[in-house]
A and B are shown apart, each in its own frame.
Chain A
Amino acid sequence: MNDESLLLYYFDDGLSDRERHEIEASLAADASLASRYAGLCAQLDAWNGTPTTPLPEQLLHRWHHSIAAAARQERARRRNPVRSVNLPSFAWGAVISAALALVIGIGINRTADESVRPAFEVGVEAGAAPVAVTSRAVFERSMELYLRDARQDLTMLGAQPADDRMLLVRQIIEQNRLFERTAANNDAQDLARVLRAFEPILLRLAADDVAPADAEALRVQLAFELDVMLTKLGRDTSKQATST
């Protein structure tokens, strides 16, 4: 009996009843075949226990954010079905985009001489061939997604009801802290400091007593930071592309 039949028997798939019974009878009658089958099972069972690949923290944030943004869009559509733009999605899209842009900008400078160093590895057992993922690639990908919302909604935050605005800013603060921790955990203290610097601005935006004009100024400041970092990022990226 060949290994292929034993394999299908193990999978309990792809065999007729008659074939299954034949294999069962053979295994009962032939000790060496039973031993070979036991070895196959042990190997396949061991492969099943392959550990889960460590998940980069920023991906977890990105997916939570996607669902939160989709839910917000839906709520906004329900509230105002004729309005085509998702107003509430602005705030943390813009802030996180700005934060990510800063992160990338600094990251590019910081790692200019070690641009091929992997930020994390998949399959890190000794001797394994790892799949390297650069932090820059991951951040850039995340940033693209956040920027889409930010560019669309940035100028319209002021039209949001006060309650929604406060709720959003509080969410931003929580998200910003997560990113800050991610940076710190990845031994990127400079990046963590930049993200920390956002918090006072966000707290002022979230305050009950912030005057509309002040809130507008803070939003403009945020927009400005975003544009600056986007410009810098574009310049650095094109520089790198030219140099490689």
Chain B
Amino acid sequence: MVANLQNLKAPTEADFHQAISACSGRWYSACLKITRDPELAADAVQDALLNAWQKRHQFDNAARLETWIHRIVINAALQRLRKLRPGVLQSLGTEIPDSSNTPHGAHADSVIHASLSAALAGLTDIERVCFVLKHLEEWRLSEIAGELGTNVGAVKQAVFRAVRKLRVDLSTLRSEPA
């Protein structure tokens, strides 16, 4: 009972400020990878912080506040992306053209993409979101599918395409003469 009561102790304003100082760079960076838009990313962090503040009484003290907020931040970024481009995350079932096979192709793209963050820009929204959530945020495939309203198979395919394109882009770049 005592433990339960302790777990119900909500984080204070000071806890939030501490979390912001320590982790907001990581939150912003994650949002930026998902949205590719600095303003959207900043707004997503802001939404998430206020949302977390409102719901802080639901926070379980057994978890880390930073991690709890991080998850809310990611959801806020997805919401912002959905709002900006409605339907973009619902088209997982359809095959998406592979841009590396277009006339402009992997070679041109890879010259531009000198880092992973830049190479992510070469992915479609769906591929990028699934890759970021799976690989960088370490969500389970089933969690991603649930969040995006699709099935695990479709998420797997999006992650496969993303990794394939990234490997081509980044390895081609490495083989470019200086």
Contact mask A111-132 → B, CB, 8 Å, 1/0?
A: 0000000000011011111110
B39 to A137, Cβ gap below 8 A? yes
User: How many residues in B have their beta carbons less than 8 Å from beta carbons of A?
Assistant: 46
- Main SS of the interface on chain B? helix
A67 to B42, CA, bound (A): 14
Q: Is A13 an interface residue (CB 8 A)?
A: yes
Q: Is B166 an interface residue (CB 8 A)?
A: yes
Evaluate whether A64 and B115 lie within 8 angstroms (CB atoms) in the complex, with A44-B135, A131-B38 already known: no
Instruction: Determine the chain B residues whose CB is within 8 A of the CB of A43 once the complex forms.
Output: 167, 170
A67 to B53, Cβ gap below 8 A? yes
Q: Is B134 an interface residue (CB 8 A)?
A: yes
Q: Is A133 an interface residue (CB 8 A)?
A: yes
Instruction: Determine the chain B residues whose CB is within 8 A of the CB of A126 once the complex forms.
Output: 114
User: How many residues in A have their beta carbons less than 8 Å from beta carbons of B?
Assistant: 40
Considering only residues 55-71 of chain A, those with a C-beta below 8 Å from chain B are 55, 59-60, 62-64, 66-68, 70-71
A64 to B141, Cβ gap below 8 A? no
A38 to B111, CA, bound (A): 26
A50 to B25, Cβ gap below 8 A? no
A7 to B159, Cβ gap below 8 A? yes
A117 to B116, CA, bound (A): 24
B114 to A67, Cβ gap below 8 A? no
Q: Is A84 an interface residue (CB 8 A)?
A: no
